[in-house]
Structure 1
Amino acid sequence: MKRIDQPMKISKPRKNHTGFTLIELMLVALLMGLVASAVLFTVDSSAPQKALKRQAKKMAALTEIALDQAVMTGRDYGMVVELGSYRFVELVEQRWQPLADDLLVEQQLKRAQLLLSVDGFPWSPDQLDFSSNALFSEREADLEQDQKEQKHIPQLLILSSGELTPFTVEWRFNESSEQMLTELQQRYRLILKADTLGMIEVKELGHD
């Protein structure tokens, strides 16, 4: 019987896997951070403009709700527009006072600035007088009540007849927000426009 010699099996030396080095891990982390930043910038580069547009559309929606309520309830409302806020008021017993409504509450705007125009001109105190004294000139004067009412006198009327003071509000970012925005974002503008019949639209300035 012949003897068959089996070839010797030579085992290959095992490689020692020591894992990633610290430098490699740091490079991976750096690359992941750069990719995440790029994606975040791409996704959120228009986030401030979208947020501003949502606020402007909310103002339009609340104004429409106020007009509908005025018609349905037979009450006359108004709107007070300031640089960083707006609120609704109500005419009660020939006096303007805050509107007590859970939905139509005062809106404080942290990043937005509002510029009101009426009849195509920037609003000024001597442009329109919707104080109760002007609306009800036959009423007896009451200095104490006049002073209390002063901060609630609206620039815009929202009437139970379904009529609305025609106006435009330019929406832009305020100065404190501009420090965190790009130059393009700083120039971003929105126009909210309303006519006498309560037709309200919001559009980007320079866009149809």
Structure 2
Amino acid sequence: MIRPTLPSAMGINTDHMPYRHQKGFSLLEILVVVVIIGIMVSIAAININTADTRPEKNAQRLSALVELAADEAMIHGQEMGLRFYRASYEFSVLDPGQGIWVRMDDDDMFRLRGLENDLALDLFIEDREIVLADSDLRRTDGDDTYEPQIYILSSGEITPFNVRFRSDFETDGYLLSVSVDGTRTITSDASSDDS
């Protein structure tokens, strides 16, 4: 059978040119593979980073605030306090004239700080767990017996304590330990279980 001769778009007769076999991949094929690999890597990264880092971030935030409060107490020569609730904490300052603890609600740094809905904290003083109230009842009932659980003194001393930030319904979390001289360490309960 004889094939008819057809000119190319440029008017060139291609009958005498040998058929060229494709070697390698086209740019489109390479781009499709790169996109598929990118999607797979993204999905893998999302799955790897699903660990909840909020307890650790909250422990780091409180550690920084305790350091700042200790510095403020020494610089201004005032006694400060820290009180914990089941899902929040707040700083206070001792009013020496009246002898009462005053919350620092108007201070952006030391205001009441609430945790996200599914986070909780556990407080330990002298190796005993302190039962924490759900919230500050004094805000509603007018009771003036507010006392901090942790004292941050102008001498640089702090009531030693441990506070664990964790997700609700879990026992492991991140433990912030504060010593009497203000030294702070953060450890993961999960990493201490592995050892």
Unaligned runs of 5+ in 1: 1-7, 12-28, 126-145, 176-185
What percent of counterpart residues are identical?
A: 25
> Is the CA contact 2:56–2:173 (under 8 Å) kept in the aligned structure 1?
no
Who is 2:155 aligned against? 161
TM-score scaled by structure 1? 0.63
Q: Secondary structure at the match of 2:144?
A: helix
For 2:156 and 2:65, the matched residues in 1 are separated by: 15
Following superposition, the deviation at residue 74 of structure 1 comes to: 1.1
For 1:148 and 1:97, the matched residues in 2 are separated by: 13
Alignment size in residue pairs: 155
For 1:72 and 1:90, the matched residues in 2 are separated by: 14
For 1:159 and 1:102, the matched residues in 2 are separated by: 21
Following superposition, the deviation at residue 188 of structure 1 comes to: 3.7
Q: Of 101, 108, 111, which aligns to 2:114?
A: 108
> Is the CA contact 1:79–1:155 (under 8 Å) kept in the aligned structure 2?
yes
Following superposition, the deviation at residue 103 of structure 1 comes to: 1.5
For 2:14 and 2:129, the matched residues in 1 are separated by: 95
- CA RMSD in angstroms, aligned pairs only: 3.1
TM-score scaled by structure 2? 0.67
* Comparing 65-74 and 102-111, the one that deviates more: 102-111
Who is 1:61 aligned against? 64
Structure-2 change in CA distance of 1:89 and 1:9 (3 Å): closer
Unaligned runs of 5+ in 2: 1-12, 17-34, 133-140
> Is the CA contact 1:70–1:158 (under 8 Å) kept in the aligned structure 2?
yes
Structure with a larger share of its residues in helix? 1
For 1:109 and 1:57, the matched residues in 2 are separated by: 13
> Is the CA contact 2:125–2:161 (under 8 Å) kept in the aligned structure 1?
yes
The structure showing larger relative contact order (alpha-carbon pairs under 8 Å, at least 6 residues apart) is 1
